[in-house]
Amino acid sequence: METIHPLDIEIERKLILKEYRNLLRPLKDNMTNSDRKQIRLAFEMAMDAHKDMRRKSGEPYIIHPLKVAQIVVSEMGLGATAAICAILHDVVEDTELTLDDIKREFGIKTAKIVDGLTKVSGVFDLTSSIQAENFKKLLLTLADDVRVILIKIADRLHNMRTMDSMPRKKQLKIASETLYLYSPLAHRLGFYAIKSELEDLGLKYTETEIYKDIARKLADTKRERNKYINDFIRPIKDRIEKEELTVNIYGRPKSIYSIYNKMKIKHITFEEVYDLFAIRIIIDTIPEKEKADCWKVYSIVTEFFTPNPDRLRDWVSTPKANGYESLHTTVMGHKGKWVEVQIRSVRMDEIAEKGFAAHWKYKEGSADKTLDTWLREIRELLRNPDYNALEFLDDFKSNLFSKEIYLFTPKGDLKILPSEATALDFAFEIHSDVGYHCIGAKVNHKLVPLSHKLNNGDQVEIISSKKQKPNDAWLSFLVTSKARAKVKHALKEEKRTVAKLGKEILDKKLKQFKYPHDDKALQELMHYYRQPTSMELYYQIAVKKIDLKELKDFELKGGKLIAPFHPENKIQYEEKMQQLASANAELLIFDESSDKIKYSLAKCCNPVLGDDVFGFITVDEGIKIHRTSCPNATEMMSKYGYRIVRTRWTKQKQLAFLTGIKVTGLDDVGLVSKVTNVISSEMKLNMQSLTMNAKDGIFEGMIKVYVNSTEQMEELFERLRGFKEIISVTRIES
């Protein structure tokens, strides 16, 4: 075993004490003597428990829980109890300490939170194939104490900040989970700063080159940007001071992830993103005057700069469901640049930065109710025993990041739903029974169907009938988790009734052949007919999707029912593929070793030699190769991390890859022949298709072309951009 030099031990001891003091500093104003002693005890216990443990980077393990506790206190605004739980969050799972030890020293509340953190430590475990089930468990702890989830987010944030020493496969998987669930969760709980950092760090590991490129360009334009911000702020600040308002005005660069998203969605370059920063105006005012002062500042801003009427967002009058309050406007600044301006009070700013924790501080405020409602709905969803974990994950995820619309009942009561919500979602928002029996609605006094998508400000009246009952088609247009869960539950209940009939049919058939109907026989039948549950088997029999005539081919050996030979089922196949994958931990695509495994390139993202890629084990198509920027990548890595295999390219064979290119520019005679000449004659590339559409002097072209590598693709892009008529050339993502 490697010996540590006494000098190193002393340096480490000083580092640990420094981090401990960094934790205590923001707590000192609100900490009692008892709190101080308890934190010290937690620190000493964790220090002793983790004394022989080190992180991948080589630093003492105790640094990690201390850093997590610092995030919980400094960046989330929580207090001493949360700090103690953060310090102890890994001890029960990783060390000799037990929950009873924690309960004895710190009381039942702390023990409960640490227990919650221990139970969910398997969430997104790298080897786990049941992440969704574990995530459901994690959210279940919301019912006990929301601090469990906040400490879990802090734990993830520190892991993301210190992931450089991890293997690439783990980096990809953890970053994908973070983008898929943790950043939306931080957003929903109102932690905007943490959400942005998680997104940026997620991008850093999934799209490293793009991340570095945007970060470099932001650094290069910093000086010019700061000068623009100062010129923009100066007249506004002078005018506000005359109104005797106390404000803090500053410019903030947009996050790298939000800039990347804009570039991807709008197919534009970094230089074409106009809003690289936002101006924030924080007003120090009393709660009674907040709203009036925000509008007063808005009025001053629009005296100097013309606002875009379509870009006004008033979350001061109606806060978001997570409690976010702010006034956003976009105005035309100097040099023809659009500038986003955010106006809010000190209280609103604290809620925006510290999210859920700030709600406890301002508990009297009505904004807190919407968050409580959301948490109550989550608990309700989790209590539904029929809710499949993956279904839950999808429905929960879809509601985390969605924008909100504000709707009204006929009596004028306000309801907040996700954008894209339908009339049927609104019915379930009123009451489950109203939803079950809904046959239509009147929106702004006009009759509309159940699937009608609602818009901000709509007034909705639900029309119902006792004869109506839920059906499968409803799930194709319902948006809210609450409504989807209720409908799935109702359909399951109906399915159970039908399944009873199927059970009776099967019982008769088994008696006819004198076969047993015990658990082992049932498992054999489920296995043979490839049904996941006994209820599904009975249901398929009842609706005549399964014909029991094959029962005559079954055998009875030693009192056991034995099914005849049939092809491998999904589980066996996945096990075999996993063995193959682990035997080839680093699959060499297009190399001799890849001949051993069936692979193909995914159509959703069309990888090209040179792209950053990963392999995904499918059920019946071998290994699919995806780009790490694939639209489906984060979801696959989050839900099915155990089916991901590391891949890298070799250039031993010249292969052609189909890729899509979008070209826009000014319509000009002969441009098509110039483009085809570059592709076919100059670069000798094979084109699959070319479509050009021109309107009002602007053309848009879609080209499908075979290239050998990303380098060759970039060369083609550069050549096309060389034509003065062409404005932009981008790769089609999917």
Q: Of 85, 79, 101, nearest to 24 (Cα)?
A: 79
Nearby residues of 629 by Cβ (< 8 Å), 6 or more positions away: 206, 207, 210, 605, 611, 612, 733
> How many angstroms separate the CA atoms of 329 and 630, rounded?
33
For residue 278, the tally of other CB atoms under 10 A from its CB is 18
Please report, for residues 24, 188, 206, 380, the alpha-carbon distance to residue 79 in angstroms, rounded to integers and kept in the order given.
Answer: 10, 21, 34, 28
β-pairing, 657-666 vs 726-731, is antiparallel
d(CA 169, CA 641): 10
Show the tokens assigned to 230: 């100062």
Contacts of 615 (CB under 8 A, 6+ apart): 581, 587, 589, 599, 623, 624, 625, 626, 644, 645, 646, 647
Angle between helices 33-49 and 6-24 (to 10 degrees): 150
Is residue 93 among the annotated active site residues?
yes
> In a 10 Å sphere around its CB, with 0-12 CB exposed, 13-18 middle and 19+ buried, how is residue 94 labelled?
middle
Amino acid at 273: V
525 touches 513 (CB < 8 A): no
Sorted by sequence, the CB contacts under 8 Å of residue 414 that are 6+ apart come out as 318, 406, 407, 408
Burial class (CB in 10 A: 0-12, 13-18, 19+), 122: middle
DSSP string, 353-398: HHHHHHHHHTTTSTTHHHHHHHHHHHHHHHT-TT--HHHHHHHHHH
9 CB neighbour count, 10 Å cutoff: 11
Of 10, 93, 271, 494, the catalytic one is 93
Which residue in the list 12, 94, 101, 105 is annotated as catalytic?
94
- Per-residue burial over 617-643, b = 16 or more CB atoms within 10 Å of its CB, e = otherwise: bbeeeebbbbbbbbeebbbbbbbbbbb
Q: Do residues 201 and 175 make contact, with C-beta atoms less than 8 angstroms apart?
A: yes
User: At residue 57, what are phi and psi to the nearest 5 degrees?
Assistant: -75, -15
Where is 404: in which H helix or E strand? Answer: strand 404-408
d(Cα 565, Cα 578) in Å, to the nearest integer? 23
Residue 254 to residue 281: CA distance in whole angstroms: 15
Residue 711 appears among annotated catalytic residues: no
546 phi/psi in degrees, rounded to 5: -115, 125
Residue 392 tokens, joined: 């839950």
Name the residues annotated as catalytic: 93-94
